[in-house]
Amino acid sequence: MERRAKGMLCLAQKLAVLTMKHERFGQARVLSTMELDLLVECLPAGPHRVLAMLLRYSACRVSEGLQLRWAHVAGPAVLFPAPITKRGLKSREVPQHPALAAALSEWRELWPLWVMKGAARVNGPAGLAEPLKGPNPGDYLFPSDRNPQEHITRQSFDLRLRKAAELAGLPGVSTHTFRRSGLSSASGAGIPLRTLQSLSGHSSLATLSLYLEVSEDQKRQAALAFA
């Protein structure tokens, strides 16, 4: 009975997301800078909030962000190695936004506490055999609180994101909101599509263009520029 109830809840949650996306022709809602700030602040402190910062400032896919390890953020750019990308064919780098660099630096200090808390939850008060001093290059950036050898799940992040969106009063939000918002904002600022493609990892400019939202103000400006 309990398993059936959980299954029905999961189905209801999926239907809610599909309904919100249907209203936007299957695409996640694009948010403004202020709305993104609010959404991130409504997420619980810890890996889920830092993951949201990564998605926001790198426009990566959530599946890519979840698989990152500390070695991939050691330099001035976030490295997305080919094996974790959508088609697994080509690596790419995205320069770290100052806000993301600051969030990762703070998370590096808190990461051992998160892992030790998870170990204590699974193994009892004894937790780990000895305290952690910090993450190793091969450790997951966003480890599960049940097993640090695994990363947090997409379902876990999606659940917290939906709760944060509800708290912030932002319907239509999904994990793709960060990717669409970042790319649409950069495009609106005049960044060439070819440059955006090198950062987003889209296979073609045509595919990338489907992600971009054109505002009414942009349409008006374009109309006024007609010869």
Q: Look at residue 202 and give its three-state secondary structure.
A: coil
Gap between the terminal Cα atoms of the chain: 67
Name 143's bridge partners. 151
In angstroms, the CA 154 to CA 67 distance is 10
In angstroms, the CA 204 to CA 208 distance is 6
Q: Give this prediction's pTM.
A: 0.83
* pLDDT at position 13: 47
Q: pLDDT (tens digit, 0 to 9) for every residue of the chain, 227 residues total?
A: 545 544 444 444 444 444 444 344 568 899 999 999 999 999 999 999 999 999 999 999 999 999 999 999 999 999 999 999 998 889 999 999 999 999 999 999 999 988 887 666 655 555 555 566 789 999 999 999 888 889 999 999 999 999 999 999 999 999 999 999 999 999 999 999 999 999 999 989 998 888 788 888 877 887 777 87
| Whole-angstrom Cα Rg for the chain | 19
Q: Look at residue 137 and give its three-state secondary structure.
A: coil
Q: Look at residue 170 and give its three-state secondary structure.
A: coil
* pLDDT at position 124: 58
Q: Which domains does the chain have, with CATH numbers?
A: 2-224 (1.10.443.10)
* pLDDT at position 15: 42
In angstroms, the CA 185 to CA 31 distance is 9
Cα four-point dihedral sign 217, 41, 156, 186 = positive
